[in-house]
Structure 1
Amino acid sequence: DRLLLKNSYKIKGNKIKQSDISSLYLQKTNRRVLGVRIYAQAYDFGMLFRDSSWVNRLFTKNIGEKPVLYDSNMVDKTFANIRQYLENNGYFNAKIKAQITEYPGMKTVKVKYIIYPNEPYRIRKIKLDIPDPNLEAFVTVDFNNRYVQEGDIFSVDELALERERLVNSLNNVGYYYFSKKQVLIEADSNLNDREIDLTLKLLPMRIRSKEYPDSIIEVRNRRYRIKTVTIYPELGEMDEEGPVDTTIIEYSVDRRKKRKYIFIHKKDFVVNPNTIINAIYLKEGNFYRKNDFAESYRSLTGLGIYRFINIQFNDVSDPDAEFGDLDCVVKLSRSPRFAISSDTELKNTGGDLGIEQGFGFMSRNTFKNAEIFKINLRGALEVQSVTNVANPNKILGIFNTFETGVNMSLDIPRFLAPIRRERFSRYFRPKTRIKLGYNFQDRPDYQRTILDLSYGYFWQPSEKVNHILNPIEISAVKIFPEPEFQNVIDQYQDPRIKYSYQDHLVLGMSYAFIYHEKIGRKRKPYQYFFGKVELGGVPYSGFSKMFGNEKDTLGQHWISNLPYTQFFRFEGDYRYYLPAYSKNVINVFRFNFGIGVPLGGSIAVPFEKAFYIGGANSLRAWVLGTLGPGAYKASGNTFEMTGDMKIELNYELRFDISKSLEGAFFADAGNIWLLKNNTLMPNGVFRFDTFIPQFALDAGFGLRYDLGFLVIRFDGAIPLYQPYRKPGERWNISNEHSKLIVGWNFAIGYPF
């Protein structure tokens, strides 16, 4: 028996477009970490113990994997796999050979597949063969959007996509029964110069004869219209005794033509019928559209008040009519109106650990228009590392921070004023969200209360894109510093620091854009982007000027004894997930950028809007709030350092160790900066000619354990480059006293 040491391939001559040859190996080598087959070694270690012992089971069943032994039959089958793959991608005359290298002394084998793809076959011409002129007209109109074009390399996958596109296109113009079985694509390769002619045929529909069940007959393709839309608003009522009522409602979702909707029920309506109608995209008299069918499911599910949704169609066509007719039947069953929840979770704020307990109450269909009302009560205990109090109060002998709060929200499945309903397509699934919250924080340095109010809109034009617009965001913050901390603040003449720890008001508006690709795509890269723009105080400053309110020395206006500032803030977070050569390994890249600019003479952005760096989800060798700005180094443990600008880059190489345990090597780089010179924080301002040497850099290793409902993470990092040190000492993993610096981070969930 010989261990399969390595599979590899080499393509000579033409490069294969989108080649993924390594996924075709039928015999995979043992997984490696940094070139070491630790899983096979773990298996061998487990075999040293007797069968069925717990050590044997741990290393052979959970951690390790059985060594993969070379099998020549698997090489032959991989040959066939690669050849089929090449032919499916247009390389019909490819040559393949296997190069087997044996190492008798080590009892190992390497297999290398040499591939000579030669020139690929390309599509010369595409023609249609559609006897039905009506069907041909719809196909021709949309034919320029096809996946396959003249001159493309022949690809079976592209033809499959084109078949699916054609079916969806016809399903969306009324051809209810049209399916993939009716799309035939013939390829003629009996040409010189490696060219292929494609003929696209659409066949008649074939069904089993009612008169002769053993016979299959052909029927013409025809478009179908929605004849009626019947809705059962509560299916559970139908099992109860009592008369059945039929209510016909004429309603226009776009304030144009009114359509009829038939409601079958036994009791009074619990959900406003118009709300249900607005979530159903299938209309009486319209031609059937597959997208409307799918969107109706998504929209009804998005209301969040139904536990069962079923949409079906009954064919009630006249066999001799030009168009077919469908009766659409929508059956619904509501979820319980009220729900109570309780959750306990470990809390991690930039490396400060704690525990949090929450209680929630939810009311579905609160005002009979599918509104969702929620109240959440939360309390948390935390260990805060940055403090100026010598002997902070201890809670349970461990925690020094207490936080509690209540948050209320109301989600309304439509846009409220001032946005008119018809201005936005229903396909965007619009919602209005109103939020009100109160939070109390008792920290070693200060106590703080925060009152939040927001009013905004949410819409989702596609599965990948979300928009959030909040025209009103108000936060009232009152802070009560401890005497020791107040003395520290008073020692600083910097108005920016003084402003950060005073009572203030945040009057703003924001817009956020979220793009997220499906994470479930195997071995395909995917990405995520979050961008948010905030504007504070600008509209409200006009009212202050009207009433003659003057600015104070910090450039602030006042409302009800609370100052507020004007500012602009942007933050963007981009992530790219790139699966590696092994299905168990993935590269994760992240870029985070933020900037906050005071406007209208204001000195600084609000404390809550400033940027921090460090901690378990950032640069992991530094505690949150202890790095920066720039090359400035705070003396002592004073207060959390913030900046007006942040640039951060992160990388992780994640890999499976066992079924539930994952490892990761990572590196983090970045810093925060000020936008204005500050004599009290030298070298803290951002400059294009100095910001790159002011990037801090760390690296480390982490373990992540997946419990199913949450991921527990433990990361250890060391600083590689410390920008605040003297030149010549910055590339250093130790502090000024030559003591190794290690940042330990225990956290919940992935950092990004």
Structure 2
Amino acid sequence: MLIVSCSTVKRVKDGKFLLTENEIEVDGKVTSNERLNNIPLQKPNSSINFFPLNLHIYNLARPNRDSIFEAWLDKSNRRKRLTNTLSKKQLNKLKQSTLNFNTWLKRIGEAPTILNEEKTEKTKSRLRAYYYKRGFLYNEVNYTIEKDSNKKAKVKYTITKNLPSIIDTLKTTIKTPIIDSIYKASIYASLIKEGQKYDEDNFTNERLRINKLMRNSGFYFFGQDYVRFEIDTFKSRNSLNTELFIDNRIIRYSDSTSTRPFKVFKIKAVNIITDASNENLIDTKQIKDSTTYNGYNLYSFNKLKFKPKALTDAIFIKKGDVYRDIDRTRTSDYLNQLQMFRYPTVDYVADETDSTLVANILLSPLKKYKLQFAFDVSQSNIQTIGFAFSTGLKIRNIFRGAETLDISALGSIGASKDAGNNEDSFFDINEFGGSVGLTIPRIFFPLNTNNIIPKSMSPNTKINISATSQQNIGLDRQTLSSILAYNWFPSKKVTNRLELFNIQYVRNLNPENYFGVYSNSFDRLNDIAKDIGYIGSNDELLNPPSDYGPADVFIDDVLNNNTSLSQGDVGYTDVNNINQRQDRLTENNLILSTNFNYTRDTRIDLSDNNFSRFKYHVELAGNLLSGISNLTNSNRNSNGRYEILNVPFSQYFKTELDYVKYFGKRGRKNVLAARAYFGIAIPFGNSSNIPFVESFFAGGPNDNRAWTAYNLGPGSSQNTNEFNEANLKLHFSLEQRFNLFGNFDGALFVDAGNIWNAFGNVEDDPQSTFNNFKSLRNIAVGSGFGIRYDFTFFVLRSDIGFKTYDPSLTKGNRWFTNYNFSKATYNIGINYPF
């Protein structure tokens, strides 16, 4: 209320005006073109939903705060009283703290934008130049300023484009014959054509295209400055004559210059210095080790620590080849991706007598060993708070082939919902594990794959073995996994990953404690047993920690028709569902899969806030093991499933689509982010359901934030399970991010989605099953807001989600029923949710 009550013109002096709006009208229509609206040199103060919060914060600061404080001290003999109470030093500290707070308000706030008509005139010139460059050479720009009695002003720019100018003719004057031939051979790719509207960007990009073409055709000394255009507007007001000039090479001497035709340069030699530094490059006589491999010369000031092939495979510059800029770029990129060297450089030494180049590749190895740490905070339906940490040791060039060995360990502790029990420790959940991974900078495969995946795609092979152990999470489990994967990069935007073999073995350590973990299922069995008189109304089914307890006996009695329940009864269906879920979650899993991942990310760097990212994942599991079992006529178990080492293996198809789009300006924090996700896993063959580790869940700090992890769905069911999971998932998010002040950012978000059972033999109730498109009415909607603090290298995030549409409630009572702080979900996370 205090902030709102402050006037936006509180700090605007008399005779000055606060700029509240820029309006740009083009040919009689107001435009919303973002690029055009960014041209004005003066912009209104930033706002959140039309409310200028930062301006109000700035207005809270008092001008001349120093003199105001002194006047306050002198009033009513206050200085004398405070001096008697406080020491002089304490009084100065009081004054300084008051001044610091005033300065802080100004720093995090935003000073009012005062209308400056000189900048308005400059903006007019910039708008005219913008349309001039777009081909409207005779455009007209005017502006009007509307001022009111409240010291506020609005600027309206009016633009009349008039007719565009067209390129009538295009001539060329190229003095070096071979360059003239190459240009004419590529004329089809030219960005400038007769009959085209004039656009300055086309001329700029055409110069870049010609420069790139020539420098990739052997012309080492060619540069963009040699390409120029002359445009003649004499013929007609709206018709242009254009001529392209490419001059000969200019050679400068000490006191004169001369010109001569460009020549094609070839690579005479390629030298690789494997341990270059500023010190040892001064005297090349100190080289102690050298060798020649496939036409490459390798030198080392100490003993050569790399196998020659490991380095030459990363070099695209070859002896005898015509010089190409792209070879230098690819070489630098590949060497950087090896993560073996510090700023690798490629230098050329030219020999004018025979038009040759010597390429010197300077490599400065990074330290062989690197130790790193990571930390994370999480929440879920079973965990009020959890802390995870990991540490890793990186060993470079371990086998002298530029390989990298990563040895890591991870651990986490958490507090469960029952951590308040005085008999248990607060942190009663833990997970520990480790992994060993080897990265080989090439495709490690018996057959030659260069024709399919050339080295220009920077391929590598990753081999990883990991093991984890969890306690007090579900049934406690151990996981052993191994991966053989290939990665390659067709372009800077695209990443491909093929996991040829992904083996997972999951062993549940404590299956007899199923009903101790899934207490909701146990409570439901108790209720059914009481309802049918199986036990007394004051009794309970016992579930001692044994392999076969009374709860299991009751399930068997129901399914064997030894009770009053029969198929079709609600109680019978619930018992059957509980039994199926118990079997599925307590069985050990063996998964052998092959999967492919495609990622296309258009983001240029961290300041780019206008990009998209698309991920596609497809996975097939169990086909190889199924084929082997069929060929060897292996025996099936009592459930009709093949087993490997007494464990039934899983067989399924899984695919996921994930799309993220950001709408924002480079370097700005005002960003609209959207995400859409679809995932499905279909069991077949040796499986009738999806392993728990491969199923989908909903809710949590990176999903639908109005529900905790595992707490949403499936469908419109009543959330009776501690871990809700299914094999089909939809998710959508829309989030508006903005800066509040300083490093504090805010966000408003809407999340929608759910999970369902589909294509399995899980005989679930219709509320949990995706039957047809009518099931989409059970998409849950959450909304809320968040506060973030940007530490530059990571973002600490706190989000509050409210259940906006809850499909688990009765129809007609789903919208905004629990939309309050007491029913809200509070999330803590690191970095953005997507």
Counterpart code for 1:412: I
**Partner residue of 1:216?**
257
Cα 1:281–1:392 shift into 2, 3 Å: farther
- Deviations for 1:57-80, whole angstroms, at most 9, x for unmatched residues? 22111x201111111111101001
**Partner residue of 2:3?**
none
Worse overlay, 492-501 or 472-481: 492-501
Counterpart code for 1:746: I
Q: Which of 98, 101, 104 lines up with 1:55 in the alignment? A: 101
* Inter-partner Cα distance in structure 2 for 1:554 and 1:200: 79
* Inter-partner Cα distance in structure 2 for 1:125 and 1:551: 80
Counterpart code for 1:197: N
Deviation at 1:497, TM superposition (A): 4.9
**Partner residue of 1:301?**
336
Q: Which of 70, 93, 115 lines up with 1:70 in the alignment? A: 115
Could you say what secondary structure the match of 2:402 adopts?
coil
**Partner residue of 2:167?**
123
Could you say what secondary structure the match of 1:631 adopts?
coil
8 Å CA contact 1:83, 1:94 repeated in 2: yes
Q: Which of 436, 450, 467 lines up with 1:408 in the alignment? A: 436
Worse overlay, 331-340 or 569-578: 331-340
- Deviations for 1:368-402, whole angstroms, at most 9, x for unmatched residues? 000000100111112345x8x9959754x2x3311
Worse overlay, 8-17 or 699-708: 8-17
Counterpart code for 1:249: T
8 Å CA contact 1:392, 1:444 repeated in 2: no
% same residue:
25
Worse overlay, 652-661 or 447-456: 652-661
Within the alignment, does 1:646 sit opposite 2:646 as a pair? no
Deviation at 1:215, TM superposition (A): 2.5
Deviation at 1:115, TM superposition (A): 1.2
* Inter-partner Cα distance in structure 2 for 1:516 and 1:469: 18
Could you say what secondary structure the match of 1:300 adopts?
helix
**Partner residue of 1:682?**
766
Within the alignment, does 1:25 sit opposite 2:40 as a pair? yes
- Deviations for 1:396-449, whole angstroms, at most 9, x for unmatched residues? x2x331111101100000111234143321101110100000101112542111
Deviation at 1:14, TM superposition (A): 8.8
**Partner residue of 1:255?**
none
More helix by percentage: 2
Within the alignment, does 1:451 sit opposite 2:495 as a pair? no
8 Å CA contact 1:496, 1:603 repeated in 2: no
* Inter-partner Cα distance in structure 1 for 2:708 and 2:335: 46
Cα 1:290–1:519 shift into 2, 3 Å: closer
* Inter-partner Cα distance in structure 1 for 2:672 and 2:707: 23
8 Å CA contact 1:407, 1:437 repeated in 2: yes
**With structure 1 as the length reference, what TM-score do the two structures score?**
0.91
Q: Which of 396, 399, 405 lines up with 1:367 in the alignment? A: 399
* Inter-partner Cα distance in structure 1 for 2:285 and 2:136: 69
**Partner residue of 1:254?**
none
* Inter-partner Cα distance in structure 1 for 2:263 and 2:120: 51
8 Å CA contact 2:607, 2:666 repeated in 1: no
- Deviations for 1:320-345, whole angstroms, at most 9, x for unmatched residues? x5xx1111111112111122233444
- Deviations for 1:620-665, whole angstroms, at most 9, x for unmatched residues? 1011111111122223xx3211111111111111111223111111
* Inter-partner Cα distance in structure 2 for 1:409 and 1:217: 59
**Partner residue of 1:750?**
832
Deviation at 1:555, TM superposition (A): 5.7
**Partner residue of 2:84?**
none
Deviation at 1:47, TM superposition (A): 2.4
* Inter-partner Cα distance in structure 2 for 1:226 and 1:193: 50
Q: Which of 480, 505, 518 lines up with 1:476 in the alignment? A: 505
**Map 1:257-272 → 2, pairs under 5 A:** 260-272=295-307
8 Å CA contact 1:733, 1:740 repeated in 2: no
* Inter-partner Cα distance in structure 2 for 1:120 and 1:308: 48
Gaps of 5+ in 2: 1-15, 67-95, 523-551, 556-574
**Map 1:462-611 → 2, pairs under 5 A:** 462-479=491-508, 480-481=510-511, 482=513, 484-485=516-517, 488=521, 492-494=575-577, 495-520=580-605, 525-552=610-637, 556-579=641-664, 583-600=668-685, 602-611=687-696
8 Å CA contact 1:718, 1:733 repeated in 2: no
**Map 1:217-232 → 2, pairs under 5 A:** 217-232=258-273
8 Å CA contact 2:289, 2:302 repeated in 1: no
Within the alignment, does 1:132 sit opposite 2:159 as a pair? no
8 Å CA contact 1:95, 1:116 repeated in 2: yes
* Inter-partner Cα distance in structure 2 for 1:134 and 1:26: 47
**Map 1:97-496 → 2, pairs under 5 A:** 97-104=142-149, 106-192=150-236, 194-209=238-253, 213-236=254-277, 244-245=287-288, 247-251=290-294, 260-318=295-353, 321=354, 324-347=355-378, 353-384=385-416, 391=421, 394-395=424-425, 397=426, 399-423=427-451, 424-479=453-508, 480-481=510-511, 482=513, 484-485=516-517, 488=521, 492-494=575-577, 495-496=580-581
More strand by percentage: 1
Cα 1:293–1:9 shift into 2, 3 Å: same
* Inter-partner Cα distance in structure 2 for 1:135 and 1:409: 50
- Deviations for 1:99-145, whole angstroms, at most 9, x for unmatched residues? 211111x2100111111112222333433221322101111222222
**Partner residue of 1:712?**
796
* Inter-partner Cα distance in structure 2 for 1:162 and 1:741: 60
Cα 1:308–1:692 shift into 2, 3 Å: closer
8 Å CA contact 1:678, 1:684 repeated in 2: no
Counterpart code for 1:298: D
Could you say what secondary structure the match of 1:506 adopts?
strand
**Partner residue of 2:812?**
728
* Inter-partner Cα distance in structure 2 for 1:595 and 1:680: 17
- Deviations for 1:698-742, whole angstroms, at most 9, x for unmatched residues? 11111110112221001112121112221211112418xx99521
Could you say what secondary structure the match of 1:190 adopts?
strand
Deviation at 1:486, TM superposition (A): 6.7
* Inter-partner Cα distance in structure 2 for 1:521 and 1:157: 26
Counterpart code for 1:646: K
**Number of matched pairs:** 727
8 Å CA contact 2:689, 2:762 repeated in 1: no
8 Å CA contact 1:696, 1:722 repeated in 2: yes
Counterpart code for 2:47: R
* Inter-partner Cα distance in structure 2 for 1:185 and 1:521: 36
Cα 1:360–1:691 shift into 2, 3 Å: same
8 Å CA contact 2:24, 2:30 repeated in 1: no
* Inter-partner Cα distance in structure 1 for 2:666 and 2:403: 47
* Inter-partner Cα distance in structure 2 for 1:568 and 1:435: 23
- Deviations for 1:2-59, whole angstroms, at most 9, x for unmatched residues? 1111112111269999772211110121110110111111001122793562321221
* Inter-partner Cα distance in structure 1 for 2:811 and 2:584: 33
* Inter-partner Cα distance in structure 2 for 1:473 and 1:74: 62
Counterpart code for 2:265: Y
**Partner residue of 1:257?**
none
* Inter-partner Cα distance in structure 1 for 2:61 and 2:429: 46
8 Å CA contact 1:501, 1:607 repeated in 2: no
Gaps of 5+ in 1: 252-259
8 Å CA contact 1:174, 1:288 repeated in 2: yes
Worse overlay, 301-310 or 12-21: 12-21
